[in-house]
A = this chain, B = another copy of it.
Amino acid sequence: MSLIVQKYGGTSVGTPERILNVARRVIETQDAGHKVVVVVSAMSGVTDGLIKLANAVSPAPSERELDVLLATGEQTTIALTAMAINALGRKAVSLTGAQAGIITDGVHTKAKIANITPKQVHEHLDDGTIVIVAGFQGETSDGRITTLGRGGSDLTAIAIAAAIKAHVCQIFTDVDGVYTCDPRVVPTATKIEEISYDEMLEMASSGSKVMQSRSVEFAKKFGVVFEVRSSFNHNPGTTVKEETRNMENVVVRGVSIEKNQAKLTLRQIPDRPGNAARIFTALAGANLSVDMIVQSDGIGDTNDISFTLSKDDLPKASKVLESVAQEIGAQGIETQDGIAKLSIVGIGMRSHSGVAAKMFAALSHGGINIQMISTSEIKTAVILEEGKIVEAANLVHEAFGLSARA
C-alpha cells in the first residue's frame, strides 16, 4: 500500500458537483489500494470575493487579518470535500493547515513553511481514513493563522508529500499536463510525459504558469516526484522528477512564451563601477522583478543598460529610475512595450551544440527580428516584437521537432 497526495485546485472544486467528482476520484485512488491525503484550494471565486469584502471595510487591510479571512476559503472546501467523501460511504476527515501541523514563519500573506509535524495526518491515515488538508495555509509557532501566497496550495501538497514520504504527489488542475508549448498558441503542441525539475523551473519562469517556481523548487529540494494532470479526465499527465540519463536525448523539452513584456533602457551611463548595482538595487527596493538584463557599449566612455520587466511594472520602474538616472549621470531613459519573450528549454542543451543557432535561424527564416538574447545552461530566450510571437513560437516549435505528427 503506497501513500499518495492529491491536490485539487479552485476550478476542480468550484461547485458542489465538482467536489463530488473529486470525492469519486479520491475514492478510486483508495480503491486502487492507496492511502490518500487530499489537499484542496478555495472554490474558484471565493478568494476574490473575500478580498473584495476586505477592501470594502479597509483601504489597506492588515495582513494578519487578511490571512485570517482568506484561510476560511480553504477551510470551507476541506469540510465540503470530507462531507462529499462521507456521503459516498468512505471515512474522511478535514484538517486545517494548523491541524495538519504546517508551521510557517510569521510573514503574513506570503509565509514560508518552516516545518511540518503531520501527527494527525498519520493517525487518521493509519485508521484507514482519507485526510483532507487545507492548502495555502499554516500557523506560526505562536498560533497565528498564516497563508503561503500565490501557488500556496501546490506548495502545501508537495510539502505534505515530502513530510509523510508519499510515493507520489498528483497536482490536479484544469489542464492535462505540461505541453511543449501553449496549445492555444501552437496547435501542434504535445503533452510532455516526463520533465526534470530544472526544466520545469525554466518553463515556469518563462511564462508556462502551470505551477509557481517555489513549489517546483521545494519538490526538487526534497526529491518529491509529482505529476500534473487534469481533474476533468483520466489522461495521464506530466511527471516532474529528478533528471534521468535519457531525458538528455531530447534537446529541447518545450517552448514557452511570455507576452506583456516591456524594455527599459538607460542611455550613456558613465562607465564607473557601482552604477549597475545602484540601478538594480533601486528596482529591488521597489519590489520590481527584472527579467533579462543586457549591457552594451554606448557612445564614448559610457554604457547602455537595458532590461525587461512586466509591462504592468513599467510606469513604476520609470519613476523609480528617474532620480537614479540623474545621480549616476545617465543621458536618458527609454521605454518600449509591445514586446514578448520566447524561450526554449531543455537539459539536452547542455550536451548538444548549435541549439541557439538553430533557434535564431528559424526566426530569421521567418523574417523575425531578435531584440535581446539571454541564455542559461538549459534555456535560450529572445525578445521579439509581440505581434510576431505566435508565428515565432510555431516556427521554433517546428524547428526542434516538437510538433505532433499526424
Nearest-neighbour CB distance to chain B for A62, whole angstroms, equals 5
The contact sample of 9 A-B pairs, CB cut-off 8 A, is A53-B76, A54-B80, A57-B84, A58-B86, A62-B86, A65-B80, A65-B93, A65-B94, A69-B75
A18-54 near B? 1/0 per residue, CB < 8 Å: 0110010000000000000000000000000010011
Q: Nearest residue in B to A50 (C-beta to C-beta)?
A: B76
A73-87 near B? 1/0 per residue, CB < 8 Å: 001101111111011
Chain A interface residues (CB < 8 Å from chain B): 16, 19-20, 23, 50, 53-54, 56-62, 64-66, 68-69, 71-72, 75-76, 78-84, 86-87, 93-94, 96, 99, 120, 143, 145
Contact A57 B72 (CB under 8 A): no
Q: Nearest residue in B to A93 (C-beta to C-beta)?
A: B64
Please give me the 9 A-B residue pairs with the lowest Cβ-Cβ distance, nearest first. A16-B56, A69-B79, A58-B87, A72-B72, A68-B79, A57-B84, A58-B83, A65-B79, A61-B83
Q: Nearest residue in B to A142 (C-beta to C-beta)?
A: B120
Q: Is the interface of A mostly helix, strand, loop or mixed?
A: helix
> In the complex where A20-B57, A57-B87, A75-B72 touch, is A82 in contact with B94 (Cβ < 8 A)?
no
Report Cα–Cα, A19/B69, bound state, in Å. 14
Nearest-neighbour CB distance to chain B for A122, whole angstroms, equals 15
Report Cα–Cα, A223/B120, bound state, in Å. 39
Q: Nearest residue in B to A66 (C-beta to C-beta)?
A: B79
Report Cα–Cα, A54/B16, bound state, in Å. 8
